[in-house]
Structure 1
Amino acid sequence: MEKFGSCLMKLRHSRRLLQKDLAKKAEIDNTYLALLERGRRAPPRPIVMQRIIDALEASDEEIALLKRMGRITRLVNAIEEHEDAEGALILIKIAHQISSLHVSDLERFQREIEGFLDSRWPAIAHP
């Protein structure tokens, strides 16, 4: 399953931007961007996400993709951190299936997942 970092890297490469150039345009640290792309950092919060989107001059479709991948990556990371094998397997299978959903369907699905997480793991439901 593709995660946020690889999606971000593909978009950066499609713009023929070096990491340092995108980092400068987005006003973020180059090391932080490298860690994001390698999946060593969680997807950024909305303010930083918007700076990256603006720096990439992303299309509406690309914006939706980045945001969707950010949500999926956060969900998978949260599941992996809590080592609930059965829940992780179920939700990872779901994450694979939702990668092609329309944004409005994904937002509805995200609300449902957050409700599930809140009931199962209250500490991680709302990062």
Structure 2
Amino acid sequence: MRIKLPQDMTRWELRRFLDKVDPPNMDGCKLWTGAEISGGYGQFKLRGRSVLAHRVAWTHENGPIPDDRDLDHNFARGCRSKLCVNTAHLELVTPAENQRRRVVARRWRASIQVWTELDEG
């Protein structure tokens, strides 16, 4: 079950959040510099609960995430970093589409690793 995030962060909560976000890099990613969970996503403590940083950013800028949607770090928008909180790099997708993209991203990363190893050999 997902935690419902407040859309109306206080100034203090927003300042705490933004203090943990780097300025955009060359790819436009705004990388989270705070705590991370084991899967590599940013984690933020909001009103006593640990929540995913990219979900906080989305909810603050765009409103609630529908229960039937996931947030995807969209490679086509310049991003595959789980630490990115730039909402322009995020997209609401169905869970099935998110899973399909996850598989494609894993294959792409594996092909990069294979090519790199071949270049070194």
TM interval, shorter chain, is 0.3 to 0.5
Q: Higher strand fraction: Structure 1 or Structure 2?
A: 2
Greater helix share, 1 or 2?
1
